[in-house]
Structure 1
Amino acid sequence: MVVPPVAVAPPPLLPCPAEAGWELVARARLPRRDANGQASGGFSAAGYQSDTDALLLLSDAPQGRVSAWSGVRRLGRVPLQPLFQLDLTGSPRAPLPAEIDGEGLVVLGERLWVASEGRRRTARVAQLLAFDRDSGQLEHAYALPADWRPAPGRGLGANQGPESLALLRRPGQADRLLMAAESPLLQDPPGQVRLLGWTFGPTSAVARPLARLAIPAGAGWGLTDLLVVDAASPAPGLLALLRRFQAPDQWQILLAHYPLPDGETEPDVVLQPLRQWDLIEAGLPPDNWEALTPGPAQADGRPSLLLASDDNFSAFQDNHLALLVPRRSVPCPPSQ
């Protein structure tokens, strides 16, 4: 009799207790020039593949580009090595605008899903874009719901998102993509951003409003990335990377933990964070942190978060990478 292997749930990706916070275990910088001497940066989203130890970084350069890097497991000890670079392009059946602003990335099967930020102009609207993973050619472009589109006094503000995209995969359920606005829509109250869930049909993707996430109401705050955590557990959640810039050079970076809205949550419900952590206090250098992805498991079994910053191709900023692990105290049971 052959006994099938028992699936082992990954360890929970949160500190326990919550106030224990996060430990910065590694940092690195990526080069500002690629192998051809061209400017490299603008990293606005990330996806880590643990089976190959490969990190995919989406650049918000005008035409869009995905670069791959190896060596994340040795981050901070040896330089990361470039694997390849993939330019995002249009195709005869799906022309690409002259400029896109790729801000969110999910790798799903043979596709790269990208959240494209808009400028309230017909030639540069916010969309969900699906690219072929191998060629980088655009396959489909999906419009955002009507409430999100530019109209007098309504819709996304210029350069205000969407900046995030996350995969929601739960046992027995169809995959969904979660997308959040960076800032409140023009018609919405301050301090809350809308959340969408995208589902897939044979030839289309459909967006459904899920809930709103409460963010700090002060000027300059925005949501820059999302990550579903502990999806297979009874209490899955969302991690959101929150950023604030105040001229001339003041940065604030928070990591917020929210409950995951279910099918019964009304779209107008505002979800408050269960916990927030100050990542500058945790050791991140003050900069434009925009990307969030699960990182490699550590030698002691703890999971990790990998974060990347967007240098905006500016000499005054940098392309940082940082690896955070959740602190856990002895009384915390393995399941929490």
Structure 2
Amino acid sequence: MPLLTSCDLPQVSAEDRLFLNLSVDFLGDYQLPKQPFKGTRVGGLSGITYDRQRDRFYALSDDRSDFAPARFYTLKLDLDSTKAEALRIKQVAIESVTTILGEDGKPYPQGTIDPEGIALSPLETVFISSEGVTKDGIPPFVREFDLRTGQWKRSLQVPKRYSPETTDDQPPQGVQDNLGFESLTIASGNYGKTAVEPFRLFAATESALTQDVSAADPTQGAKNRLLHYLLEARRALLLSEHLYQLDPPPEGAISHGLTELLAIDQGGHFLSLERSFGLEGFQVKLFQLALGSATDISSFDTVKNTSRSTVAIPKKLLLDLSSLNVPLDNLEGMTIGPRLPDGSRSLLLVSDDNFRQEQVTQFLLFRLKGLA
């Protein structure tokens, strides 16, 4: 038998070893009609998570308790699968609405919360993130709520550097206004079980903290921060913090940020959504991330000027949604959905219409290939 040389062995790039072999196929879009529901104004859907045990979605409104108390909706999605080659969303039905309650057992007062991210946990609860209200000195949070009643369960520790503060003897710090915890996701495979193993939760800012903003190069993307928690029913441990480097904003962008993270396995792989808005409307890109090799920056007071040894979370462009030839709205939510008829996983994106008449609540459906 001839011996194989190193030249005969298959060559695997460092990128191939780091990332999963994923691809996405666009299946179609759906617009939710503007409507009231049980005394609430449906809109502002900024986060979404899928409950595979019940085949339902929970979608979070980013209403700051202006139109109705802060809340999330339970949705049922029906697919038209009569033609395998033309799979599409037939209908999205709203089944119920759940008001989230503060530690005092009461709905959040107007202007005290900016809910943006939602993630279903194996504890029959949802975790919800708020960007805070920087102009009023209200810090961001990550809190746990009962899935059925919306009752507050606990609040996770958030490092003080995220709280907006300005003092005479210290420079400004904390999340920028409307740029706090936009993204929230949980990595766990044990939903619906009585005995729950520890699971991991990740929260990320939409843009850089005030103390991390650099004016040296305005074309450079912001340096966001990601928090990594290990959770059990009665214990929460903040494990690490990592740097998420945004792509540079496109020319003419008025706003640009990270709007969602989605854990896709328990091995440190994620999808991320970067969204921009400018004169040409919305631009959105979907990336794959691999957390394992990223530097822990939890001891860094600022990442404004990091050394070459500081490794940001590696990322790889998966899809530029501009290539879909579909008008895009303000896409902010993303979740893995039910399996499709061919056994592949579905990926669902949803837009926040900002409660504006000229915008829409848009659902985009994809087939995600390469995920078990």
Normalised by the size of structure 1, how large is the TM-score?
0.82
Match in the other structure for 1:83: 95
- How far residue 125 of structure 1 moved from its aligned partner, in angstroms, is 2.0
Distance 1:150 1:254, change over 3 A: same
> Are 2:247 and 1:216 equivalent residues in the alignment?
yes
Task: Verify the 8 A CA contact 2:100 2:107 in the aligned structure 1.
Answer: no
Map of 1:177 onto structure 2: 201
SS of the aligned residue for 1:315 comes to coil
> Partner residue of 1:9?
none
**Identity in percent:** 28
Query: What residue is the counterpart of 2:269 in the other structure?
Result: 237
Count how many residue pairs are aligned between Structure 1 and Structure 2: 309
Say whether 1:325 aligns with 2:357.
no
Matched ranges for 1:103-182 at <5 A: 103-108=116-121, 109-121=123-135, 124-152=138-166, 153-169=172-188, 174-182=198-206
CA drift of 1:170 comes to 7.1
Of 46, 49, 66 in structure 1, the residue corresponding to residue 48 of structure 2 is 46
Q: 1:292 to 1:73 in 2, by over 3 A?
A: same
Evaluate the alpha carbon distance shift between residue 200 and residue 78 of structure 1 in structure 2; reply closer, same or farther with a 3 A threshold: closer
Secondary structure in 1 matching 2:367: strand
Question: Rg larger in 1 or in 2?
Answer: 2
**Residue type matched to 2:94 in 1?**
P
**CA deviation profile, 1:251-294 (whole Å, cap 9, x unmatched):** 110001111236x8432531231334201213553210000100
Moved more, 183-192 or 168-177: 168-177
Q: Choose which of 44, 54, 57 in structure 2 pairs with 1:55.
A: 57
**Aligned partners of 1:127 and 1:117: how far apart in 2?**
7
Residue 113 of structure 2 corresponds to 100
Check conservation: 2:88, 2:365, Cα contact below 8 A.
no
Corresponding position of 2:263: 228
Root-mean-square deviation (Å): 2.9
Q: 1:241 to 1:27 in 2, by over 3 A?
A: same
Secondary structure of the structure 1 residue equivalent to 2:54: coil
SS at match of 2:41: coil
User: Structure 2: which 5+ runs fail to align?
Assistant: 1-18, 81-86, 167-171, 191-195, 215-220, 298-309
Tell me if 1:305 matches 2:347.
Answer: yes
Contact 2:199–2:232, Cα closer than 8 Å, also in 1 = no
**Bigger mean CA offset, 175-184 vs 217-226:** 217-226
The gaps in structure 1 that reach 5 residues or longer are 1-14, 329-333
Q: Is the contact made by 1:95 and 1:138 (CA closer than 8 Å) also made in structure 2? A: no
Q: CA deviation at 1:297?
A: 1.3
Q: CA deviation at 1:307?
A: 0.5
Partner SS for 1:281: helix
CA distance 1:215–1:295, change in 2 (3 Å): same
Contact 1:96 1:138 in 2 (8 A): no
Cα separation, 1, equivalents of 2:363 and 2:291: 27
User: Partners of 1:68 and 1:289 in 2: how far apart?
Assistant: 19
Q: TM (normalized to structure 2)?
A: 0.74
Bigger mean CA deviation after superposition, 37-46 or 264-273: 264-273
Q: Using the TM superposition, give the Cα deviation of residue 94 of structure 1 relative to its aligned residue in structure 2, in angstroms.
A: 7.9
- Cα distance, 1:72–1:123 mapped onto 2, change above 3 Å: farther
- Higher mean alpha-carbon deviation, 64-73 vs 311-320, is at 64-73
Q: 2:343 & 2:79 partners in 1: Cα distance?
A: 13
Cα contact 1:41–1:319 (8 A) shared by 2: yes
1:240-319 correspondence to structure 2 within 5 Å = 240-247=272-279, 250-261=281-292, 265-267=295-297, 268-319=310-361
Question: How far apart, in 1, do the equivalents of 2:209 and 2:44 lie?
Answer: 24
53-62 or 136-145, larger mean C-alpha shift: 136-145
Q: What is the match of residue 3 of structure 1?
A: none
- Choose 192-201 or 174-183, whichever is displaced more: 192-201
User: Is the CA contact (8 Å cut-off) linking 1:53 and 1:73 kept in structure 2?
Assistant: no
